[in-house]
Structure 1
Amino acid sequence: MVSAYLPYRLVNYYLARKNLLRPAPPINLTFSITNKCQSHCQTCHIWKIYQDNPEAKKEELSLGEIEQTFGTMDPVFFFNISGGCPFLRDDLPEIIKLASVYLKPRVIHIPSNGLEPDRIMSMLSTILKDLSHRSEGTYLQIKPSMDGLGACHDRIRGTKGNFDKLLLLMENLKTLQKSYPKLQVGLGTIISTLNIDRLGEIIKFIDQLEIDSYIAEIAEIREEMLNASAALTPRPEDYRQAVGLLCRHFGKRPSKSVGLTKFTRALRLIYYPLSLRILSEARQVIPCYAAFSNVHLSAYGEVWSCATLGSKKSLGNLREQSYNFRKIWQSKKANDVRDFIISWNCSCPLANQAYANMLLHPATLIKALKLYLSLP
């Protein structure tokens, strides 16, 4: 069931980007709840933050501050919890409970490095029990990372034994699904110069796991990830081969369900060639709606348009504005960031934002609907 506010907000974003209306509240919220992480990934250096500055942990938003913030926000359709490793926050179940009370998301998404299967399963059980009573219509998506097989995965993620723990977690998650049908289990791969030549074997292995969804996203230089010095993004000619592989895979793979999951699959089939064009042409191939449809909260209360621009183009800080998200969202500083984006000053293949951009681009939306109807 589509939330009643979605059609209005989508029309609003389209017109607001043309400076005809004030932007409505976002439908997609990403919240980096912590920068704690026990991985040592080569593609992301968030784990270095507290290694270099342990005292900074104390600056993360408290549960009380999070509740104050959520209390000034409108409902969102998609709530993406990010990090760091989200499961390292002891109050993760309470954060999700607050989100279900104030934000009422239809989809909650949590990534995972899979390093602590027992801790993850314990927290998920608590979260799912609460959601089953409080928010019956909400889907919880858990998406661990698989960047290679065996030692390759461990090397990229910087932790020996990670792959074996990941497989144990996947087995446990599929067992948990039997009790909670609203739990969706997926996997994600970051395609980088470190593994692009092994993408085929990764996809083949994942197919055997019979999971609900799989997404591969190209490695980017992001303000959020502190990885500006790393040579991670594949060359366009190499990524083109990966795109062909992914499109063949998703085009023939039967969907386990219909509705939102199948439509997301259609969007992904469009996203991969689109991301290749963005990478090759270094421009917004279709208009970007960051700071319109989507918003990102940092662990320290910074409000960002997206993870790519991050603190370089902050809309404001929640602590400095008495945790009033609406005030920041409608501020001059926020409008200045929107003008920067509207003026085509940035481009990136960030998947989370690209889906909203495709929905708000009429020609691409029509293409996605046709593809949805034709998929097996």
Structure 2
Amino acid sequence: MFFFGIEHEVAFLNKEGKFADFSHTKFSDFNQIIEKLPTYPSDYPQLRVGDAGIKMKRWYIEGFERFADSDEVIDCHVKGIEIRTTIHSDIQGAITELSESFRLLREVAANFDLSPVLVSFNPYNPAFEPQPPLNDYEIKQLEAYPDEQTANIHMVSYGPDLNISVADLSTENVIDIGRKLTYYSPYIVPFSYSSPFYKGGLWDGLSVRTFIRTGKRPAALVFVQKEEQLINSIPSLTKIARIPAEVGRIEFKACDSCDDFSIYAALLALLKGLVLDNTLLGRETVPSKVLHQISAKEGFDNKDIFENATKVLQAAEVALGNDPDVHYLMPLKVLLAKRKTRSHELIEMFNRVSSIEEVIRQTYQV
């Protein structure tokens, strides 16, 4: 029995048509949207609320929380709004819920002159520097959690968590799958590439997000129940589950954002196939920075990336066999046959209109 969920980060243009990020957008600008969106009491306890109470709904503000010299949250630098689905026993259920939640978000945001745009890396600000600078309490908090020290990357990169779990798998097996997905990540992520912009212009490649984050952030994250099940690595491969519903969950975190949710369905089917597959033997605890950076620059134009992406896709298809979910893989086959990604389309549009805002305004045409 498989279970699926998606966490999808949404960036926005403001009423001036400018990219709405932490440099000139306040918590209240996004919070007015969140306040108008519904709460579904039946979502809990499978959705985590968190300490600051920001994650009360299926939608919440993604950002960097600021503290007084204590555990009191006094502000939050904003990045965008994250949509998270509840847990589903089928891929279509997760995609349908995500689509409906996105439709509601877009409708409510329009009332405040904010429009969603596809961005996987901040096209203008290459790094996040907290202002005012961190106080002593905040510095101590960050030092206690190594992954939190990459907030400078987290605040400028946007991407999904593609969540998958299997009933009754041992912790050992779940970690093994996490290591497998980490190894094959450079060949999976090009199917999602959508971040060709950097510092206000075109970047020399297809995914600046992948190029910058790899080695500092995990490709896959496995949630375990007990402290002794953790594997010591930087970036982390394992994490203690914060609520019972997280135990045994594998989050694939390496993909760029997609504005065509059928690609998420395809990627979840691919992950399902890789869980079932017994032929691919590669394993890695820490993502390969070198391979991810080659992948980010060249995508399917690189012979090694193309051949291994083909191998991964074929292995998943064979492992799925007669499972109806095998049909979800079709968009990935098309991308591979054309050796094209969403980034190629965005680059072509930019070469025509010479404006990042004009290009990203034309995304999410659903």
TM-score w.r.t. the length of structure 2 is 0.30
